Structure 1
């Protein structure tokens, strides 16, 4: 039997198997488990509760902005008052409603099944920031927090994002030099102080980004202190351009 026929038979068997599997376990909404017509999606109700960052957006953090850009580079009020160290930034959605639910499910609920669909959303948001030589790397967790959580959600997302576009990925580009208190509840100055000297480039990985563009991936951006610390370290290591993409941004809808 020829290879072409075998390939066709294999594809047919997989298709039949998938149909049978769906008959027993129909696709569900990734947020509420409502039965769906397609996999890895949101039901209409959850979609309506998700504030996606579409249309006109801030060029530094990706938060949606009212009106049209007319080709101009726009920034939100927060990024105008607090200029970012990185070159450009994008986000998938606002940290509210279904978006917040999905982030927390991935971060604290062991919902690793969310990584593929969320990575596809990240790929759409990050498309304007990616070039053929871009290296993708996640914000790191300190080793003790990684032991407790068992995985770094930013690393899972960045790896899946890199695979989708065929980009170089370095999960351990950054390292946490010391454990820091949680950022939740801290003011902007306190967040910045909390992260001073806490993030560095791994000495064995520094050459990977010397003279190359870098995309940093994180799950949530609030004040931007963590991304700023990572950007500073990347620039000191010689990155030619630093961009960021996050799954969600803490901000008000326009």
Structure 2
């Protein structure tokens, strides 16, 4: 009987391997057929594209932010004013967070990417967007202890099924190894959509809306936190988050977003 069992095992192993190979081949063939029948389209111009949703032409139209920029807010300068020179906005209205960085300006292509990720279930865009963010925020991430995505209220999260900021943060975690603490910061009351609100209205809308959960206190206290979000407009939301994290004794809070509104570009609609 032992010999029969041994023979059965020796026969079943090659069979299992063959079955696994067949399944892999079938999966590849099915994906190839689907790609032929339904080619991936550029999320911006809708032309067929190989890769992660953006064609080369639209990628070239993205306005990546690079130095020189305000060391506090990450707002790009037209010319280099010299080291440590702050923007007028940073001087007039300094935020609670220490530094902010963005991968791109919020222009037409960036808006299309953000809206597709946020409202159209295009989570396949998160890997490319997250990699661009990791590159733009390398100086923030180098010394960071923990990543915190800007949270959704549970009702909105239930309707949307996922948090776009969390999707971006998971990509950055894989890229950098900085630990993600997705549940540490909570949105404790629902807030009105910030779209269409003035700067004072945005600040009032999110005031007191965020709190560090009791279970998340140990993850925040004494740590350097990088807040992750998709778009920075007035900065009211990330400022409110930063204040909640600092009340929980975070050592410092920086902000990393995919896109930020810069003078001359329209705010999110």
* Shared fold, TM over 0.5: yes
Whether 1:203 aligns to 2:203 is: no
Whether 1:47 aligns to 2:59 is: yes
Question: For 2:117, what is the secondary structure of its paired residue?
Answer: helix
- Distance in 2, Cα, partners of 1:27 & 1:194: 39
Structure 2 gap ranges (5+): 1-20
- Distance in 1, Cα, partners of 2:115 & 2:86: 27
CA shift for structure 1 position 21 = 4.5
C-alpha contact (below 8 Å) 2:68/2:80 kept by paired residues:
yes
Whether 1:34 aligns to 2:47 is: yes
Question: For 1:204, what is the secondary structure of its paired residue?
Answer: helix
Q: Which has the larger radius of gyration?
A: 2
Whether 1:229 aligns to 2:240 is: yes
- Distance in 1, Cα, partners of 2:250 & 2:264: 33
Size of the aligned set, in residue pairs, is 238
From 143, 147, 162, the equivalent of 1:136 is: 147
Whether 1:185 aligns to 2:185 is: no
Whether 1:121 aligns to 2:144 is: no
- Distance in 2, Cα, partners of 1:33 & 1:185: 28
C-alpha contact (below 8 Å) 1:135/1:214 kept by paired residues:
yes
C-alpha contact (below 8 Å) 1:51/1:97 kept by paired residues:
no
Whether 1:59 aligns to 2:71 is: yes
> 1 or 2, which has the higher helix percentage?
2
Residue matched to 1:168: 179
C-alpha contact (below 8 Å) 2:134/2:141 kept by paired residues:
no
- Distance in 2, Cα, partners of 1:147 & 1:220: 21
C-alpha contact (below 8 Å) 1:30/1:40 kept by paired residues:
no
